Chains A and B, each alone.
Chain A
Amino acid sequence: MLDSLQPLVFGMLALIIFISAAFITFSRNLIYSAFALLGSFTGVAGLFAMLGADFLAVVQLLVYIGGIMVLYLFAVLMTSGIGDVRLTNRSIAVKIALPLALVLFFSLGKLIFETEWFAQQTVKIAPTTAAIGDLLLTKYLLPFELVSVLLLSTLIGSVALARQELRNSKENHD
């Protein structure tokens, strides 16, 4: 039934993503920006679901909202002077950022207009999890194992950094 309402649902999701993204960028309050991520992450998960990528949609919720967003929140809360709204999130380096953003905008726009789009009639909702696993363990086995190495090195790096930070904060306390 959602098929007939597909454009409407897509429009709603796009609007949610757009509004929260704009909010993240333009809000002067760092905490508000961090919380607004919720809208854009959920919206992207919705888009994944619309494309029939159910596993990706749920992982988007699980990893991005449960993990990355909470990480951002904790990071923001570690910023000193966060309680003072006016101090946070000033727009800096507009002179560099503006041309960069314009270049990105135009190259993306060019890409959108030059690509030959084809219309997918219906999205088949089939379980994608097994297919993903199948590909991971056959065609993309090497990247998959490399991911584990990458994660391991991240783990080692994070513990080294965090231990130092923890020591510093302890010394400051004493």
Chain B
Amino acid sequence: MENFAIHIHESYLYGLPLSVVNLIVMFGAAFVVLLGFVAPFAGLLSFIERRIAARIQCRIGPNRVGPQGLLQFLADGVKSLFKEDLIPKVADKPLFIIAPYLVFLGMFTSFVVLPFSSQWIVADLNVGILYLFATAAITVVGLVMAGWGSGSKWSMLGGMRSAAQIISYEIPTGLAALTAILLAGSLSLQEIIAAQGPHPWQWYFFDNPFTFIAFFILFVALVAEGNRAPFDLPEAETELVSGYNTEYSGMRFLFFFFAEWAHLYVLGAILTTLFLGGWQVPESLLASVGAESIAARILELVFFQLKIYVLVFLVVQLRWTVPRVRMDQMMDMCWKYLVPIGFFCVAGVAIWMMLFPDGVSFVKYLLIAFSSAMVLYYFYKVYRNFKDSRAELELNPFV
């Protein structure tokens, strides 16, 4: 990035001071991240989610705008530009207006530290993983603000519930992340990925039984933090109309949804980074395209994305197959199950590191075998369900 700025400075803008050129380059890079990554990711995820949801519910889903309905999110975005922006009479106007901003910012700024490849990262902070959790805190404030600002009972209840839920689940999130941090000895996302390898037996997911459990804790906790079903109590349609965003319309409403889908992506990225080896590509494959070439970087990006989208698919499928839990069940699950198990995992990993500094390959292969069996069983069940429920759609994804 620095070199690029110097290059630009020397060849094009030598009349300007270097710091200004640097500023311009940084601004440009941030803008590319903004438009090139964040918006399409959130948009595409909305499309993916709707198509999967439709398929699970024996519908077809959006398939008119663009090929297979791929551009539906653009149409939706443009549509919401032409919607009336309503602010309720009893709303606390300044808070009502600021709240979507905060939710949007909290989600949006987390993309800065995501490692898309070994060199493509906007800011490789030394405390990257903590920064990701800290941005969630800003979102919480935004949600409470939205709830209070709307002046509606539904919004108020939704905002409070969501705040309580997100802060509760931040504890298991932190604990589960600690297991990977212990093994990597760093808080920087790039260093955590670099400490793992491209092959499954080098991932932290299979490193020992405790990280294996921690992965699932993190998965559940992050799903809950995103206010997604089965933990979508803050926006439970049947109880709270739409929760904290009941009173919002048009563009502001879209911001809340943007944040939700962006969180889905960040969820996948966190899990992939901490436990699934991030952008790591097998060396032989990397060598075949040239380790330093741009193709290698793209390959890394593709690997990273693939892992994320597998996880995203799981979360979406979870949303449309599992019923919503009750408030007390959700709180119990966090404080009575995930937090104690999380502590147990942190202590376990520490002890494991003391006893077996080099890892135990036997346990690793056992865990890999176990999860392979789980995945096979999963595919079998899905296949059976497809066969039993609707033969006419079959498994053809293109309708």
The chain A residues found within 8 Å of chain B, CB to CB, are 1, 4-5, 31-32, 35, 38, 54-55, 57-59, 61-62, 65-67, 69-70, 73-74, 77, 125-129
Residues of A within 8 A of B163 (CB): 70, 73-74
How far is the CB of A42 from the nearest CB of chain B, in Å? Answer: 8
Check if A127 sits within 8 Å of B126, measured CB to CB: yes
Smallest Cβ-Cβ distance to B137: which chain A residue: A66
Which residues B91-106 have CB closer than 8 A to chain A?
Answer: 92, 94-95, 102
Indicate whether B26 reaches chain A with its CB closer than 8 angstroms.
yes
A-B contact count (CB 8 A): 82
Check if B127 sits within 8 Å of A65, measured CB to CB: no
B interface residues, how many (CB within 8 angstroms): 34
- Most B CB contacts (10 A, CB to CB) among A31, A66, A69 go to A66
Smallest Cβ-Cβ distance to A127: which chain B residue: B126
Known: A1-B26, A66-B136, A66-B167. A54 touches B127 (CB 8 A): yes
Indicate whether B130 reaches chain A with its CB closer than 8 angstroms.
yes
Known: A66-B170, A67-B167. A38 touches B141 (CB 8 A): yes
Query: How far is it, in angstroms, between the C-alpha of A59 and the C-alpha of B137 when the chains are bound?
Result: 11
Check if A66 sits within 8 Å of B127, measured CB to CB: no
Known: A35-B95, A66-B136, A77-B148. A58 touches B141 (CB 8 A): no
Chain B 130-145, CB-CB to A under 8 Å as 1, else 0, gives: 1101111110110011
Residues of A within 8 A of B187 (CB): 55, 127, 129
Residues of B within 8 A of A57 (CB): 127
Residues of B within 8 A of A38 (CB): 102, 138, 141
Residues of A within 8 A of B127 (CB): 54-55, 57-58, 127, 129
Instruction: Provide the main secondary structure of the chain B interface.
Output: helix
Which residues B138-164 have CB closer than 8 A to chain A?
Answer: 138, 140-141, 144-145, 148, 160, 163
A-B contact list, 28 entries, CB within 8 Å: A5-B19, A5-B23, A32-B95, A35-B141, A38-B138, A55-B130, A58-B131, A58-B134, A61-B131, A62-B134, A65-B138, A65-B140, A65-B141, A66-B133, A66-B140, A67-B137, A70-B140, A70-B144, A70-B163, A70-B167, A73-B163, A74-B160, A77-B160, A125-B126, A127-B187, A127-B188, A128-B126, A129-B127
Residues of A within 8 A of B125 (CB): 54
Residues of B within 8 A of A62 (CB): 130, 133-134, 137
Check if A1 sits within 8 Å of B19, measured CB to CB: yes
Residues of B within 8 A of A59 (CB): 130
Smallest Cβ-Cβ distance to A71: which chain B residue: B167
The 3 closest A-B pairs by CB, nearest first: A66-B137, A61-B134, A1-B22
Check if A31 sits within 8 Å of B148, measured CB to CB: yes
- Most A CB contacts (10 A, CB to CB) among B17, B23, B144 go to B144
Residues of B within 8 A of A58 (CB): 127, 130-131, 134
Q: A32-B94, A61-B131, A66-B170 are in contact. List 19 more A-B contacts (CB 8 A).
A: A1-B22, A4-B19, A35-B141, A38-B102, A55-B187, A57-B127, A58-B134, A61-B135, A62-B137, A65-B137, A66-B136, A66-B137, A66-B167, A70-B140, A73-B141, A74-B160, A74-B163, A127-B186, A127-B187
Check if A129 sits within 8 Å of B126, measured CB to CB: yes
Residues of B within 8 A of A65 (CB): 134, 137-138, 140-141
